[in-house]
Structure 1
Amino acid sequence: MTALSTALTTALPATLPALGPGPAPALGPEWLDPATMIMTFVGWVGPWSVLAVMLVIFAETGLLVGFFLPGDSLLFTLGMFVHIGEKSPADGVPVNIWIVSILMWVAAIVGDQTGYVIGKKAGPAIFNKPDSRLFKQKYVDETRVFFERHGGKAVTLARFVPIVRTFTPVMAGVGQMGYRHFVFYNVLGATVWAFALVWLGYFLGGIEWIRHNIDYVILGIVFVSVAPMLYAWLRSRLAARRTGPSDDTQAAPLTNEPALTRSSERAETR
């Protein structure tokens, strides 16, 4: 931890200008730019900047108020910083990619676990209310059924979708998803998410275009992650449209036939 913090504090500030604004416009406010955020942490807390990054990952994944924080881009940028730190180590102290990955992995797991506990503990107090225009108890019941059927898939894949990953663990707690079941898929999703993004930034950190277009790279990662879910959703919608009208059409004669028969019989009697 000390070696990593020292490298972040001394070596990285000298090399970070390469990660400054590129030709592509920023997709968010400057203070949410991951490079700017890490440099701010270095200026504020020095050797403890790594823990500050962990706190951001924790808040973004576990606290509802952290939905706007950068998660994907922060991990990706951190991986690039590690690449730079290895090329320009501070006082001969290299930055260890494995330490960085494990720390971010722990922050992601603890964050989701916190969100789950919030949903499970606060859910009954918040949602056990009479139905209103905006809230209906059936929404909670539907959430519970959803996580019983698709909870593992939702917890794992939501890791790669900004904002969605902030609310998913909370809703898993509200939906009373089994604790062990949630822990397993939480660890699985955090492992793939944290290690993949940190190491991806680490391996691509030497490419100048990548350094200047981090936001677009992250958008590409999000699109690839969400594409299977969008495809499945569109396919189910199309299937529902194809089967829905035909079922109604077939049901109509069965419902109306007795009434038509009785009407014709009365007409013949008259």
Structure 2
Amino acid sequence: MLHFFHHALEPWITSYGSLAVAVLVMLESLGLPLPGETALVSAAIYAGTTHHIDIVVLIASAAAGASLGGIIGYWIGRRAGYPALLRHGSRIGLTERRLLAGHWLFENHGGKIVVFGRFFAVLRALAALLAGVTRMDWRRFLIFQIAASILWAGLYGGAADIFGKQIEHVAGPVGVAIGVAIVAAIIVAAVMFHRHGDRLERIAAARAQSKQ
């Protein structure tokens, strides 16, 4: 299974490397349905198992892509405003309910949403857009956005790289067991993030609507 993973991933990693991950992460941060986070994790595991890509460069590239995507999203929100997002946001998955939820969260929690929103798919693009819509000071936003991007890329990329190295140095049944455990952990983490993200969205949307 690991050999299949390497062969399937190697062509685009060796051809485009960290740049491809940075672009995918940047576009995903703008709300496009692209696997930026998945690309980072996959490339980091590849780096840990083959050493054909520098993990530091990969993490830095992902952080740069996330930062740039958030900055672009901020200026789009600042220039377009809430009415424009309400009219056109559904095209990139920003429904009225998500916009209401995000707007309420941002007004009440500010910069914390920029940081923690990086780790929730439903808030990843919305946080930067709403920072612009609510005209958060751009210098303050920039600090939070860069910090969040570095933290996110470092945690996801670093953990995946460590997992990759552990897989490389363990053979036979133990290696298979570790591989299964890693896959299970990733699945459980994804389910937990989605559950909490959906719950957070429901609560915030209900409170935002109650204030209207």
For 1:17, give the aligned amino acid: H
Extract unaligned runs of 5+ from structure 1. 1-14, 21-34, 90-94, 241-270
Q: Which amino acid in the other structure matches residue 41 of structure 1? A: W
Equivalent AA in structure 2 for residue 117 of structure 1: W
TM-superposed deviation, 1:150: 0.7
> For the pair shown, which has the larger CA radius of gyration, 1 or 2?
1
2:203 is the alignment partner of 1:203: no
The CA distance in 1 between the partners of 2:65 and 2:155, in whole Å, is 15
**Alignment partner, residue 3 of structure 1:** none
Deviations along 1:164-222, one digit per CA (max 9) or x if unpaired, are 21222112211222212211111121111001111100101133456567665444344
Give 2:20's match in structure 1, choosing from 52, 69, 73. Answer: 52
* 1-structure distance, mates of 2:188, 2:77: 31
Rate the CA distance shift 1:41–1:183 in 2: closer, same or farther, 3 A: same
Which runs of 5 or more structure 2 residues have no equivalent in the other structure? 88-94, 168-175, 208-212
Separation in 2, partners of 1:70, 1:213: 22
Cα offset for 1:224? 6.0
SS in 2 for 1:163: helix
Counterpart pick for 1:41 among 4, 12, 17: 12
In structure 2, the CA distance between the partners of 1:223 and 1:177, relative to structure 1 (3 Å rule), is farther
| Alpha-carbon separation, structure 2, partners of 1:69 and 1:128 | 22
Change (3 A) 1:18 1:229: closer
Change (3 A) 1:229 1:41: closer
Q: Give 1:81 deviation, angstroms.
A: 0.9
Match for residue 144 of structure 2 among 182, 185, 188: 185
Equivalent residues, number: 186
More helix by share: 2
One-letter code aligned to 1:172: A
CA RMSD of aligned residues (A): 3.8
Q: Which residue of 1 aligns with 2:65?
A: 107
Q: Does the 8 Å CA contact 1:160/1:222 hold for their aligned counterparts?
A: no
| TM norm structure 2 | 0.68
**How far apart, CA to CA, are the structure 2 residues paired with 1:159 and 1:172?**
13
Say if 2:86 is the partner of 1:154. Answer: no
Are the aligned partners of 2:105 and 2:113 in contact in 1 as well (CA < 8 Å)?
no
Q: Percent identity?
A: 23
Using a 3 Å threshold, how does the CA distance of structure 1 residues 210 and 167 change in structure 2: closer, same or farther?
Answer: farther
Higher relative contact order (CA 8 A, sep 6+): 2
Q: Which residue does 2:3 correspond to in 1?
A: 17
Match of 2:171 in 1: none
Equivalent pair of 1:79/1:202 in contact (CA under 8 Å): yes
The 1:80/1:152 distance shift into structure 2, 3 A limit, reads: same
Q: 1:113 to 1:235 in 2, by over 3 A?
A: closer
| TM, length-normalised to structure 1 | 0.55
SS of 2:34's equivalent in the other structure is coil
Note the C-alpha offset of 1:72: 2.9
- CA distance in 2: counterparts of 1:59 and 1:217, whole angstroms: 26
| Cα distance change on mapping 1:110 and 1:210 into 2, 3 Å | farther
